[in-house]
Amino acid sequence: MRVDSAPRLPRQVQQSRAGRAPNGASRPTMGNSASRSDFEWVYTDQPHTQRRKEILAKYPAIKALMRPDPRLKWAVLALVLMQLLACWLVRSLAWRWLLFWAYAFGGCVNHSLTLAIHDISHNAAFGTGCAARNRWLAVFANLPVGVPYAASFKKYHVDHHRYLGGDGLDVDVPTRLEGWFFCTPARKLLWLTLQPFFYSLRPLCVHPKAVTRMEVLNTLVQLAADVAIFALWGLKPMVYLLASSLLGLGLHPISGHFVAEHYMFLKGHETYSYYGPLNWITFNVGYHVEHHDFPSIPGCSLPLVRQMAPEYYDHLPQHHSWVKVLWDFVFEDSLGPYARVKRVYRLAKDGL
């Protein structure tokens, strides 16, 4: 499907992307502060629940897409082997070239693996009846990332879908401290660069949960793999893998999806899709409205959802470039960590 055939964001957003703020003012400098001082609080349910009901009532054939992706495990295997080969190749590289390839190549591969883990967290590889296989495949996909996180990701990602924007429940939403401090272009640029750290530490601050057995196993397997790589090939391959993760999940073109998915570029819209070519290496994570409507449909089938029910998606505002998303996030004063929709769920009130 052609990307340029999709509708553009409304005029005021287009104008801001052309170099002017929506109110006609000049683009802020690196020292100007963002205009938002709080999240966008709403008192309605997330839109995905009702849209899912309507689409299934009108197009029940979509249920046939709720099946595992048989190619996902092979894609994961190929990506892991690519990084193992890269580890062998970087043993004798100069440090500057090691870091270059960690950003240009390893960052793409490791980011792709994290999105494979995202798909696997929805049991997309083997189906809901084979939960253990899905979890162990996620642990395997985790190996080139260098640090254990696959089991923890699944534990929290369920809440992101069930309680989208939920205060104290959805750890994808930045904290108030992030919203308050990272409010200038320079600070927002730093925030984007440090995304791997915020995504790792935020759950421990916002909604800490008990450590599970799978998280312990994930950690032990990851440590064993790291020790084995270090023993076989030395320090540089380990630095390459860790740098691939830190750089690839930080200020990197693919990382535009972190901002594109749920940051409020247009008032009243809390989830956005991107239909461009980077979906080819990110398991269609750009089809994010479709994904939240149908989280049990694997990424490979999300384009079919849009094709089967175009009237529910084609009119929605969408992004056309993740790089442009990052640029606008940094320089638009209406955007920042506070530009997220939040709501209060009863569970948050009850402390459950």
The pLDDT assigned to 346 comes to 80
The pLDDT assigned to 6 comes to 44
Instruction: Provide the percentage of residues in the chain whose pLDDT is more than 70.
Output: 89
Token pair for residue 198? 């915020």
Instruction: Provide the percentage of residues in the chain whose pLDDT is more than 90.
Output: 87
**Alpha carbon distance 184, 35 (integer Å):** 9
The pLDDT assigned to 347 comes to 66
The pLDDT assigned to 22 comes to 36
Instruction: State pTM to two decimals.
Output: 0.89
Lowest mean pLDDT among 57-71, 183-197, 335-349: 335-349
**Alpha carbon distance 320, 274 (integer Å):** 6
The pLDDT assigned to 36 comes to 87
Are 288 and 64 in contact, with CB atoms under 8 Å apart? no
Lowest mean pLDDT among 19-28, 237-246, 266-275: 19-28
The pLDDT assigned to 23 comes to 36
**Domain count of the fold of the chain:** 1
Number of Cβ within a 10 Å radius of residue 271: 22
The pLDDT assigned to 31 comes to 56
The pLDDT assigned to 17 comes to 38
* Domain boundaries, position 286: 3-350
**Using one digit for the tens of pLDDT, what is the confidence trace for 83-133?**
999 999 999 999 999 999 999 999 999 999 999 999 999 999 999 999 999
The pLDDT assigned to 30 comes to 54
**Alpha carbon distance 330, 202 (integer Å):** 21
Q: Give the CB-side neighbour count of residue 117, counting CA atoms within 13 A.
A: 27
**Using one digit for the tens of pLDDT, what is the confidence trace for 273-327?**
999 999 999 999 999 999 999 999 999 999 999 999 999 999 999 999 999 999 9
Outline where 102-144 has alpha helix (H). Answer: 107-120, 131-142
Is pLDDT above 80 for 261? yes
The pLDDT assigned to 276 comes to 97
How many helices, marked H, and strands, marked E, lie in the chain?
A: 17, 4
**Using one digit for the tens of pLDDT, what is the confidence trace for 7-41?**
444 433 433 333 333 333 344 455 566 678 999 99
Mean pLDDT, range 247-267, rounded to an integer: 98
Mean pLDDT, range 208-227, rounded to an integer: 98
